[in-house]
Amino acid sequence: GAGVSQSPSNKVTEKGKDVELRCDPISGHTALYWYRQSLGQGLEFLIYFQGNSAPDKSGLPSDRFSAERTGGSVSTLTIQRTQQEDSAVYLCASSFLLRGDANYGYTFGSGTRLTVV
């Protein structure tokens, strides 16, 4: 596609339920990042995928969080047994290179706003 697409754009879920967030990066972009932004905080790194390398999961806050990237393209971020502190905007970004484009950095999706009630 022309840009990075994320779905759903908004998700309200009950505490304890599982949720799945989807990111469709720009075609050909080998690097894909997941971030989240909680209210009043900076972007918090969650996980990145780079080509066929093992993903860097060092930012995942707990074992309730997992992510997959199938066929080097679409990625899903799964949060199991959601808690209220998981409420945040979840952003996906992609680029050709891990370090981003020299002029344009990373291309972001418009995010999924997750609210856990």
- Euclidean distance between the first and final Cα of the chain, in Å? 33
Instruction: Determine if 73 is a binding residue for other proteins (CB under 8 A).
Output: no
Interaction of residue 54 with other proteins, rule CB under 8 A = no
Measured CA to CA in angstroms, residue 30 lies from 37, 47, 49, 93 at distances of 23, 14, 8, 11
The single residue among 22, 45, 55, 80 that binds other proteins, judged by CB under 8 A, is 45
User: For residues 79 and 81, what is the distance between their CA atoms, to the nearest angstrom?
Assistant: 7
Listed ranges 16-24, 42-50, 60-68, 77-85: which one lies at the site for other proteins (CB under 8 A): 42-50
Q: List contacts with other proteins (CB under 8 A).
A: 3-4, 35, 40-45, 91, 93, 98-111
